[in-house]
Structure 1
């Protein structure tokens, strides 16, 4: 054996040993359980139905999870900041109605319809932030109130009925059925938004300040961070992303939907964010874990449909997963359960 070969063998062995470590670092140790759960879910439903693990069904899962995925990604940001937005589903419903009504009333101009929806999202998010910051209302209570208010607004302006028809327009058709590099446009929108928010959280001062506010708002204030400005901005961001979700909902269904399609999205977004590792008290979380959780929920819901299980069980499963996620968080932090001895 030559000296060069002998020197190379330890290096190769070290590279082989470090490969699993690099994979673990890329995925994230906190997300391994999500990957394992996803593998188990896919294996079970593939065994029950051979058509489950096909490319066409994978695309169906991706498209079905897009709206909830967008809301879950931005919900993660809100939760990291130490708050919560329960009104995102209602905001998506208002934006959906506005996009279709503006489209119809402006001579079928899709860009004005989309702009109107985004504008409504900005206003809705800004109002949420104002109520929380200057009304000094708990974020859960404030957005629970606006959940009902925005839902009422959507029903009032639409008369409780679907509005308009947008599938005669090329842009809305492209959003609903188009492909980019073989992927549905809806999935591409989700990936672009998720990547942008991930980069913001991980590599910018804005992201570091969001983590700081959620981790310890007193220390963040003493460090000179304008917490009020950040909270309002985070809720405006939530409104904008909720509006994008509403636009996709409009394109998917062909009309503005005041409640159908947006009902229950707030629970899905919170469940995905919590499952993905976002600490409900703030300061921890990430987009990668949330996307894995969205994929897990989408695979589970699709699998239940494929094997013919009553769709009501999907809500049961989501509720159970949310409880499990919170229990895991409590155990990891070592917090005492209310009313129980330590």
Structure 2
């Protein structure tokens, strides 16, 4: 019975795939298991994990957020502009977080009060955020001054703590807090209930609109954290940055067992999904597989994950 429950867990399939693929790559190419390569995987995965944690909340609640890539770019531009103007690091970071949370609030307002489908509302925000990023930056990259006083900010994207990349530690903290929120709070139970059956949740006395509003705000907040880390890693705010990040975040959640119909998923599964995608890209580079075929592999993986989830439900 215990093994049956383990197999039915959303994160079981991505965990098995991740362990199997990592073992095969380690045996085939010893360079894969080198600390430097594993550290690179950590850097590459950190921002997607941070974005995907908030995206998972939205997906479990029965929605979707297509604007995270553009919001990430807007947050990066705002943060870099303030630093380039020699404003305090704390002001730049807080402003970036507020921009992300504000975009999430607008998304939530449009979905709840405006009764606009999440796909359309966030698609509109995708265009608005990207346009604002281009306007504020005058369609140019905004470089952060390479001065000693800005080193603490740049460390957020390039530094290490006890040998572990700081971006990966930030992503781990965000993912852990989000998982705890989902698993051990009343709000987490409400998120699953709203995603499972919105009308039943409403009739049960759950404040559906408040729950939806909050998940979009949290998604905007995690996106802002990812945007700040990305800006610190590159030392530049890119108005064209974050392209296709929304698809990567959604793919990580789906591969991790989240259902696009809502009511099912976990942040643990999402993290495993993001790591699996990163290992596939890294292994493909080691095996000299062209980038075009890497995209084919990742796309096929998303489709297989959905098919597997449907098969598992029928069996259950």
- Please classify the TM superposition score into its range, dividing by the shorter chain length: over 0.9
Q: Which residue of 2 aligns with 1:231?
A: 212
| CA drift at 1:334 | 4.3
Q: 1:166 to 1:195 in 2, by over 3 A?
A: farther
TM-score w.r.t. length of structure 2: 0.93
Q: Give the TM-score taking structure 1 as reference length.
A: 0.86
CA RMSD of aligned residues (A): 2.1
2:285 maps to what in 1?
Answer: 305
On the 8 A contact 1:100/1:163 being kept in 2, the answer is yes
How do residues 1-342 of structure 1 correspond to structure 2 at under 5 angstroms? 29-105=9-85, 107-168=86-147, 169-260=150-241, 262-334=242-314
Moved more, 202-211 or 149-158: 149-158
CA distance in 2, matches of 1:166, 1:55: 31
1:217 Cα offset (Å): 1.0
CA distance in 2, matches of 1:199, 1:167: 38
| Cα distance per residue 1:169-204 (max 9 Å; x no partner) | 121232122222321110110111111111111111
State the distance in 1 between where 2:57 and 2:108 align: 14
Q: Contact 1:167 / 1:173 at 8 angstroms: preserved in 2?
A: no
CA distance in 1, matches of 2:300, 2:210: 35
Q: Which has the larger radius of gyration?
A: 1
Shift of 1:25: 6.9
Distance 1:166 1:204 in 2: 42
Matches of 2:28 and 2:275, distance apart in 1 = 19
Hey, what's the Cα distance between the residues in 2 that align with 1:287 and 1:321? 19
For 2:27 and 2:288, the matched residues in 1 are separated by: 14
Q: Secondary structure at the match of 1:284?
A: coil
Verify the 8 A CA contact 2:8 2:312 in the aligned structure 1. no
How many residues are paired up? 313
Change (3 A) 1:75 1:180: same
Unpaired segments ≥5 residues, structure 1? 1-17, 336-342
Task: Report the Cα distance in structure 1 between the residues aligned to 2:168 and 2:301, rounded to whole angstroms.
Answer: 24
Distance 2:68 2:17 in 1: 27
Pair 166,115 (structure 1): closer, same or farther in 2 beyond 3 Å: farther
Q: 1:249–1:257: 8 Å Cα contact kept in structure 2?
A: no
Q: Could you tell me how far apart the structure 2 residues matched to 1:225 and 1:180 are?
A: 42
For residues 38 and 247 of structure 1, do their structure 2 counterparts lie closer, same or farther at Cα, with a shift above 3 Å needed?
A: same
* Shift, 1:323, TM fit: 1.3
CA contact (8 A) 2:258 2:265 kept: yes
